[in-house]
Amino acid sequence: MNLLAPILAKLTAHGSRTAIIAADGEHASYADLLGRSERLAAAWQRQGLRAGDRVLVAMPVGIPLYASLVALWRLGAVVVFPEPALGLAGLRHALRVTRPRAFLAAGWFRLLRYWLPELWRVRLVLGANTSAATAADALETVDIDHPALISFTSGSTGQPKAIVRSHGFLATQNARVAELLAPQRDDCVDLVGFPVFVLANLGLGVTSVLPNWRLQRQENTDTGRIARHIAAHGVSRALIPPSICAGLADHPISPLDAIFTGGGPVFPDLLARLATRLPDADIVSVYGSSEAEPIAHQRLAEVTQDDWRAMREGAGLLAGRPIPEIAVKILDREIVVTGAHVNKGYLDTRHDQTSKLSLDGAIWHRTGDAGRLDERQRLWLLGRCDGTVGDLPPFGVESAARFWKGVEQAALVSVDDRPVLAIAGDGARQAEWQAQADRIGDIRVIVLPRVPLDRRHGSKVDYPALKAALRRI
């Protein structure tokens, strides 16, 4: 098998249809991607790249990146993606952990082989220029367990863990994502803020518009620029993290058919703002993780008044019913999952000891998220297991607080064994917020200019940074 088989069939079938629109407006058709990948594969084959070789990839998110991915998988090579949010530290970590045979870079990233001593021992250097290459229609047949991709967790809970995805795993994961993203019309154009979802779109025949913002510190993006990007390319759906949704919810935007958002907690106040801005859009919150994507999803149109009331009163975040292809258990309040598209182990097996369980003859992944299943078997998220403050679930308190007047951000942590609710917003309302918090429990409210967020999607609270900031007050 080869995970590319169905994707190559779409590349061939759709020919002149636009596959990808880059941030600068460059278009690539399905035929373009097919031709580029054939020429790259032929050139790299001549350089000596073989099936099973690990290739560290350092390229901007653009058309050459996706042509290169297709070319590498044609040859059965293993793509190694460093965690981009960690910058050079993430790249060095990937080099140490995976020890790649080849390095593929474009743009200024090519200079890294001269700057980083760790790259000096990587002798095979690949280029992404296809102008002078001849084409070869190669497609390596590999075993279902043959590795295709090594990527990394965000490192927000410790050292980034290397996740190995095989051809069989990626093909299954793409199928699950494709089911979620199945378009309702033939001329669908997606703004894709999650680079991995472009692969699913290629298999669906959907046009992907790449982000025109930096994928680090996304909470600081220029919302007006994104809105113009959407209008210029006739985007009909957006696949974007909550941080980007938050900006668009407060800015004039062209009508959209749908928004899919995840990669961090999707709070109910944000969903309400999106619904006001885009009343005709199908708004879907997606819950998953690096090791299991997707786990569950919830359409806003199916959220009941009782659900809204529960979230306002601190019941947590409604993530929806788990997809049929995944099994979910709640063990000691923690969400654990298993299924064909759930990662069963890390490259460094020592990480399995804290993240994997053997139950009922299967390997289960411990998400680290606290949650519960309601009487309708819908999943509710309560926050990180290690972030629970006494009996107070972080997402329960935070989602309730975000409905208070003047609140822009809210995060619950324990400081010196006391619950502290950090709030960014209209600080003149601090006394009002404290009165509201007193009704929930013994919680001290502290006002901050901003609550620090994660570097990957700008949507999760950076709790260590937050605790450090609160202790300085």
Strand 102-105 relative to strand 54-58: parallel, antiparallel, unpaired?
Answer: parallel
Predicted pLDDT at 168: 97
Q: Which two tokens stand for residue 51?
A: 């099936």
Q: Which of 109, 136, 171 is the last residue of a domain?
A: 171
Cβ count near 378 (within 10 Å): 17
Predicted pLDDT at 155: 67
Query: 137, 127, 1, 129: which is closest to 76 by C-alpha?
Result: 1
Range of the domain at 78: 5-171
DSSP run (H or E) holding 352: helix 352-355
226 part of a folded domain: no
Predicted pLDDT at 237: 98
CATH number, residue 453: 3.30.300.30
How far apart are the C-alpha atoms of 438 and 416, rounded to whole Å?
18
Q: What are phi and psi of 9, to 5 degrees?
A: -65, -40
Q: Are 142 and 51 in contact (CB under 8 A)?
A: yes
State the DSSP code for 25.
S
Q: Which two tokens stand for residue 351?
A: 């990480």
Predicted pLDDT at 126: 96
Predicted pLDDT at 133: 62
207 part of a folded domain: no
CATH number, residue 92: 3.40.50.980
Cis? peptide before 294, omega within 30° of 0: yes
128 part of a folded domain: yes
Cβ count near 309 (within 10 Å): 10
Predicted pLDDT at 130: 67
Number of domains in the chain: 2
414 part of a folded domain: yes
How far apart are the C-alpha atoms of 107 and 63, rounded to whole Å?
13
Cβ count near 377 (within 10 Å): 9
Q: 264-267 long-range contacts, Cβ below 8 Å, gap at least 24?
A: 264/454, 264/457, 264/458, 264/459, 264/460, 265/317, 265/381, 265/395, 265/398, 265/459, 265/460, 266/242, 266/317, 267/242, 267/317, 267/398, 267/399, 267/402
Q: Are 323 and 176 in contact (CB under 8 A)?
A: yes
241 part of a folded domain: no
Q: Which of 112, 144, 171 is the last residue of a domain?
A: 171
Q: Which of 171, 186, 219 is the last residue of a domain?
A: 171
87 part of a folded domain: yes
314 part of a folded domain: no
| Sign for the pseudo-dihedral over CA of 230, 232, 235, 236 | positive
99 part of a folded domain: yes
The residues near 243 (Cβ < 8 Å, ≥ 6 apart) are 218, 219, 221, 264, 453, 457, 458, 459
Per-residue pLDDT of the chain (473 residues; tens, 9 = 90+): 999 999 999 899 999 999 999 999 999 999 999 999 999 999 999 999 999 999 999 999 999 999 999 999 999 999 999 988 788 899 999 999 999 999 999 988 999 999 999 999 999 999 887 665 677 788 999 999 999 999 998 766 567 899 999 999 999 999 999 999 999 999 999 999 998 899 999 999 999 999 999 887 777 789 999 999 999 999 999 999 999 999 999 999 999 999 999 999 999 999 999 999 999 999 999 999 999 999 999 999 999 999 999 999 999 999 999 999 999 999 999 999 999 999 999 999 999 999 999 999 999 999 999 999 999 999 999 999 998 898 999 999 999 999 999 999 999 999 988 999 999 999 999 999 999 999 999 999 999 999 999 877 678 899 999 999 999 88
Q: Which two tokens stand for residue 43?
A: 């050139």
